[in-house]
Amino acid sequence: MTSPYEVLGVDPDADEAELLEAYRQRVKETHPDQGGSAEQFQAVKDAYEQLRSGEVPEWESTASPDAREPRQTGRTSRTPTSPPETVTVEYLDYEVLDDHGWSIGDEDLFERARRADLDPEAHGQFSVNPGETLLEAAEDSGFAWPFACRGGACTNCAVAIVDGEMPPPVGHILPEKLIRRGIRLSCLSAPITDDAKVVYNVKHMPDVEEFLLPASRFEKTYSRQRDR
Ligand code: FES
């Protein structure tokens, strides 16, 4: 069995920054559009998830005996990634900002949206129930928000948190600089504050687009799975 360190191509002593860097690199290398496969891509995500969570099982490895000991990374506690209570989310489509010359940093962004009487697809509110991700809640409310992998690797589902708190989950591709700017992945988590304001569809924002993997290959993968 291949160890998660071997899957990511990192030394067992790698620190968190090295793990993240290796994960980003391997996600790109194993993406089906880059000559990889859906299986390799999934294995990379699983390996990173294991190392981030500290849940490294026994494995056969060429690493030193010491390195085969279960890794104590200090990353064993998981951040809650879905709301404990029902959360009210006010949303706004990023494309609307372009059309109106608005910016995510505008203090009165959502007041402007309310006054603009936008289409319900572009602006409105819905509830996120306990255990749901933000993306699932949007879909349950009848909206077709963008997504592709549903696994934290492609950034198609990226949203910007304007108000409220939404913890970054483990096993995602976003770099720290985007996390600090409030960018999150709606396929993996949801706000944990009573209410939140979110701009969705930010995948083409500068800096976010850099990490965007094309949705087409995931769609083909899903349709192949459905056809089996
Ligand atoms: S759908 Fe790919 S990261 Fe969320």
Q: Is 187 in the pocket of ligand 1 (CB under 6 A)?
A: yes
C-alpha 36 to ligand 1 mean position (Å):
18
Residue 3 has pLDDT above 70, yes or no: yes
3-class DSSP assignment, residue 72 = coil
Is ligand 1 within 6 A of the CB of residue 45? no
pLDDT(89) > 90:
yes
Q: Decide whether any atom of ligand 1 lies within 6 Å of the 126 Cβ.
A: no
Report d(CA 80, CA 70) in Å as an integer: 23
Report CA(117)–ligand 1 centroid distance (Å).
Answer: 30
The minimum-distance atom of ligand 1 relative to the CA of 187 is 4
183-185 and 87-93 strand pairing: unpaired
Per-residue pLDDT tens over the stretch 31-54: 666 677 778 877 887 787 777 666
Q: At what angle do helices 16-30 and 38-53 cross, to 10 degrees?
A: 170
pTM of the complete model beyond 0.75: no
- The residue ranking higher by pLDDT, 96 or 175, is 96
Q: Ligand 1: does its nearest atom lie under 6 Å from the Cβ of 155?
A: yes
Binned at pLDDT 50, 70 and 90, residue 23 comes out as: confident
The mean pLDDT of 12-22, rounded to a whole number, is 79
pLDDT band at residue 79, thresholds of 50, 70 and 90? very low
Fold entry, domain 87-211: Ubiquitin-like (UB roll) (3.10.20)
**Residue 215 pLDDT class (50, 70, 90 cuts):** confident
For the chain, the structural domain boundaries read 4-68, 87-211
Tell me what pLDDT residue 217 has.
Answer: 55
Is 87-211 in the same CATH topology as 4-68?
no
Type of residue numbered 74: G
Q: 50-56 contacts: CB < 8 A, separation 24 or more?
A: 50/4, 51/4, 51/5, 51/8, 51/19, 52/16, 52/19, 52/170, 52/171, 53/78, 53/170, 56/3, 56/4
Q: What is the per-residue pLDDT for 62?
A: 42
Spacing, Cα 148 to ligand 1 middle (Å): 6
Long-range CB pairs of 44-47 (<8 Å, 24+ gap) are 44/7, 44/8, 45/151, 45/152, 45/153, 45/171, 46/4, 46/7, 47/4, 47/5, 47/7, 47/8
Give the C-alpha separation, 181 to 99, whole Å.
22
Q: Please, are residues 196 and 215 in contact by the beta-carbon 8 Å criterion?
A: no
- In CATH, which superfamily holds the domain spanning 4-68? DnaJ domain (1.10.287.110)
**C-alpha separations of 161 from 158, 198, 212 in Å:** 10, 5, 18
Ligand 1 near 137 CB (within 6 A): no
* Amino acid (1-letter code) at residue 201: N
